Amino acid sequence: MDTSSRPELKIFSGSAHRDLAQKIADYIGIPLGDASVKAFPDGETSVRINENIRGRDVFIVQPTCPPVNHNLMELLVLVDAARRASAARITAVMPFFGYARQDRKDRPRVPITAKLVANLITAAGVNRVLTVDLHAQQIQGFFDIPVDHLYALPVFLRHLRTRDMSPLAVVAPDVGGIKVADSYAKALHTRLATVAKKRMSDTEVDSSYLIGDVEGCNVLLVDDLTTTAGTITSAARICKEHGAGSVSAAVTHAVLTDMAVERLRDSEIGELITTNSIPTSKAQLADCRMTVLCIAALLGEGIKRIHGDESVSGLFNVDAVI
């Protein structure tokens, strides 16, 4: 497709994950945009875009990972700077969308914070959102602007297919994850099981029983997000109790607290496979036995297709070349 008449593509990064933004720019073959992002002495965010973006197609890479409020505010300020600099279109590239678990009123007098965040992003001047593996897919409907929701499944499959894990069983660590786990099981041509859990508190989970057979199988636990690691470590334990061999976990967003690191270190999970949707420390890599897969090509391809007004649905294919 001829893109000579299209606005010039520009990619900028906040401070949340500059390394991923640089990898995306390298994949596309353009330099990362020049922007100064820092904080004033009182903690306020200071942003300046140091190049002309009038009439440009601007993509701002900023996962809203911890510190969530700071990174979200930084994204909003960057968007406002780009809007006031007369960018033709602004796309927020959010590999990880914070506040995604607060997507409904499950108790009296609580907010739907995911909707509030969607409103803030739209009000700031974002024209489009590009994200990966939302914790709750209905969040797409919280926005009054287009949302391109990519899946990390092809990235994980390319890695998993290079390994001999047979006999393999894919396990959803809770009932809500069955649909995603079923996609993995079908793509890997293997059996599916799930763990039924009961949440005791924000940090404690009781995995009650296993639905399916994992005896004699190597288990792959599949989830989109882990923060305290209570769900996946509890699921790993119950799989082991039912005769599973090795246990690995594939989690798109490993937003690991200190509690999660401790739990994973002492758990039955031999390897945690995740993506670089958020930064990972060297200590986490070692303590949690992590393998980090790069999603820069996935996001880069999404950006190229959005910029070229092409469909991104081809990236949903489990055999997508990225």
Q: Which residues are catalytic?
A: 197
Return the structure tokens found at 305: 């297709």
CA-CA distances (angstroms) from residue 222 to 88, 146, 252? 39, 28, 9
Asked if 280 and 254 touch (Cβ cutoff 8 Å), the reply is: yes
Asked if 236 and 205 touch (Cβ cutoff 8 Å), the reply is: no
CA angle 298, 300, 303 (to 5 degrees): 110
Cα 217 → chain centroid: 28
Sequence-ordered list of residues with C-beta below 8 angstroms from that of 311, at least 6 positions apart, any chain: 305
Best CA proximity match to 77, nearest among 42, 126, 30, 32: 126
Three-class secondary structure of residue 159 per DSSP: helix
